[in-house]
Amino acid sequence: MPTALLSVYHKEGIVEFAKELVELGWNLIASGGTAKALTDAGIEVRDVAVLVGGGPILGHRVVTLSREVHAGLLAKDTPEDNQELSELGIPRIDLVCVDLYPLQAEIDKPGSTIESVIEQTDIGGPTMIRSGAKGRRIVVCKPTDRQEVIRWLRDGQPDKDNFIKRLAAKAEAVVANYCLVSARYHSGGNYNGAIGHQTLVCKYGENAWQTPAGLFGTDSEDPLALDKFKIVAGTDPSYNNLCDIDRLLQTITHIAAAFQLNRGKVPCIAVGVKHGNACGAAIGDYKIGVVKRMIEGDPVAIFGGLVMTNFIINQDVAEALLTHVMPDGQRRLLDGIVAPSFDYGVIPMLQRKKDKCRLLENRALEVLASSLDAAPRFRYVRGGFLRQPNYTYILDLKDPRLEKFGEKLSMEEENDLLLAWAIGSTSNSNTITLVREGYLIGNGVGQQDRVGGCKLAIERASRSRHIIVGAVAYSDSFFPFMDGPEVLVEEAGVNAFLATSGSVNDERMKEYCKSRSRTLYLIPDAVGRGFFGH
């Protein structure tokens, strides 16, 4: 009869797993706490202490770290090894089910100490997992894998070598990540990295010759993690699609956060993106109006882009996405639409030939309050990688550090500033963003000088025949010279500015806005600078 060794920190579901193994004819060995849980449930089990010839020692720090356990896991299926195990009275262990002490949870716990972290650093668990992986045993190191293993055993262990190999690879990754958590903590961040598993294969990367490419998940509990979006129609997202979806999430969550903080509620939001930058964005109380204004922001750029909403796509919204401001009889082509879900009958409306419009849904998009991504951001550079905290600043109109000069703005105008800030601070810097009446009319992104960003924002707004007079402008840093504000006011009639302070020309900027009866909001550059996407 085959033998399984069970040793888990979290006991949820282990009794049910053990019962199913017994039904399949397995003998069970378990460590102290796990053995007690199984015995209390009426399951026959042998305590590992009996196998190793003694109970736990050193305050339970050494239990499974014994030659008997690891001989049972590492012995090869050869006459020589089997005979040696038999002479020593050691059973061959064919399956090991282990989960690890909650190290990350202890590190994150308020008041944790280096002593408490060390106490919650598992040694026996990772060692058993790695011995099982090396010995090509059935290694179950995630509770979610238990039922898959049971089904596989019931089905007669099909494609055994590949199944075992896949579990072994996962085991090594789990241990590697566990060790990385420990290294990161004890080094104060001097050692870092990420362990992920491929959740989606892309046809290619940014260009057709960049293969292979794929999306790797990190088992994040974030409900908005990219691997938690369900593809309901179309081909798998491309590498570029996934980059755009990640940026869409940055923009839409910052819009939501700004309005939750300043207005106490999240409006309906629609954002369209092209090459990583918003080319359309709108807020409001009504879905159809928000979608139409998002499209009107830049109807040329949105063609072939991706759209994300925080509301369900119904047939009226779908029709607007396809036909609003399009010539009669023509449909707008989009590369993808991402929403909480799609009403019945909507998916066939939105599909394109060869499934080129990807439709993805995630119910978490409906609840965007407090949804900013706080995980660190990594970026490969030659010979290593860069790491920085995520961009989690939220503009607070009541922040005492926010200086306000000039005429008092209406709530609607301040809403425009909030929207402009959320768009501009998640667009490639340098950025100048123009918003009017609740929607984006011009986004001058990625410019090497700030006046160039002003001119580009005006150019894009003018191309779409927007009225710029009365619009608000956001700058993702301070204006080093007066040429930028002068272009926005004298050539376009912008009514209000949100920028950062810190320029030698701040006083000139204040005087200029005062002389032109323009409103100026300034937040210190060290607090609110919105550089992004370098």
On whether both 259 and 164 belong to a single domain, the answer is: no
371 part of a folded domain = no
456 part of a folded domain = yes
| pLDDT score recorded for residue 60 | 63
Residue 62 DSSP symbol: B
CATH number at residue 133: 3.40.50.1380
| pLDDT score recorded for residue 458 | 97
Give residue 61's pLDDT band: very low, low, confident or very high (50, 70, 90). low
On whether both 320 and 439 belong to a single domain, the answer is: no
On whether both 18 and 150 belong to a single domain, the answer is: yes
Give residue 354's pLDDT band: very low, low, confident or very high (50, 70, 90). confident
Burial class (CB in 10 A: 0-12, 13-18, 19+), 218: middle
Would the pLDDT of 32 be above 90? no
On whether both 316 and 401 belong to a single domain, the answer is: no
Would the pLDDT of 427 be above 70? yes
- Span between the terminal Cα atoms of the chain, in Å: 60
On whether both 402 and 308 belong to a single domain, the answer is: no
pLDDT tens readout for residues 397-421: 999 999 999 999 999 999 999 999 9
Average pLDDT, integer, range 76-98: 93
- Long-range contacts of range 17-21, CB-CB < 8 Å, 24 or more positions apart? 17/97, 17/146, 17/150, 18/43, 18/45, 19/43, 20/150, 21/95, 21/150
pLDDT tens readout for residues 322-348: 999 999 999 999 999 999 999 999 999
Kindly state the helix (H) or strand (E) to which residue 360 belongs, with its residue range. Answer: strand 358-361
What is the count of structural domains for the chain?
Answer: 3
Asked if 97 contacts 146 with a C-beta cutoff of 8 angstroms, the reply is: yes
Task: Locate 275 and state its tokens.
Answer: 């090459």
412 part of a folded domain = yes
On whether both 141 and 286 belong to a single domain, the answer is: no
Among 346, 366, 386, which residue terminates a domain?
A: 366
On whether both 66 and 138 belong to a single domain, the answer is: yes
Phi/psi-derived region of residue 369, left when phi > 0, alpha when psi is between -120 and 50, beta in every other case: beta
Ramachandran angles phi, psi of 227, nearest 5°: -75, 0
pLDDT tens readout for residues 258-273: 999 999 999 999 999 9
| pLDDT score recorded for residue 423 | 98
Largest Cα span, the chain = 97
Give residue 66's pLDDT band: very low, low, confident or very high (50, 70, 90). confident
| pLDDT score recorded for residue 164 | 97
CA distances from 296 to 315, 321, 326, 439, 441 (A): 19, 11, 10, 9, 8
On whether both 273 and 405 belong to a single domain, the answer is: no
Give residue 297's pLDDT band: very low, low, confident or very high (50, 70, 90). very high
Asked if 319 contacts 195 with a C-beta cutoff of 8 angstroms, the reply is: no
195 part of a folded domain = no
CATH number at residue 343: 3.40.140.20
Give residue 440's pLDDT band: very low, low, confident or very high (50, 70, 90). very high
Among 126, 153, 186, which residue terminates a domain?
A: 186
Give residue 57's pLDDT band: very low, low, confident or very high (50, 70, 90). low
Give residue 58's pLDDT band: very low, low, confident or very high (50, 70, 90). low
On whether both 347 and 294 belong to a single domain, the answer is: yes
Mean pLDDT of all residues belonging to the chain: 94
Kindly state the helix (H) or strand (E) to which residue 231 belongs, with its residue range. Answer: strand 230-233
DSSP 451-512: HHHHHHHHHHHHHTT---TT-EEEESS--SSSHHHHIIIIIT---EEEEEE--TTHHHHHHH
222 part of a folded domain = no
On whether both 443 and 342 belong to a single domain, the answer is: no
Ramachandran angles phi, psi of 138, nearest 5°: -80, 110
198 part of a folded domain = no
387 part of a folded domain = no
| pLDDT score recorded for residue 67 | 84
Domain residue limits at 310: 227-366
Q: How far apart are CA 119 and CA 131, in angstroms?
A: 22
On whether both 254 and 308 belong to a single domain, the answer is: yes
Q: Nearest-CA neighbor of 513 among 476, 461, 475?
A: 475
Would the pLDDT of 481 be above 90? yes
Among 366, 382, 414, which residue terminates a domain?
A: 366
Task: Locate 171 and state its tokens.
Answer: 């085991």
On whether both 252 and 179 belong to a single domain, the answer is: no
Give residue 48's pLDDT band: very low, low, confident or very high (50, 70, 90). confident
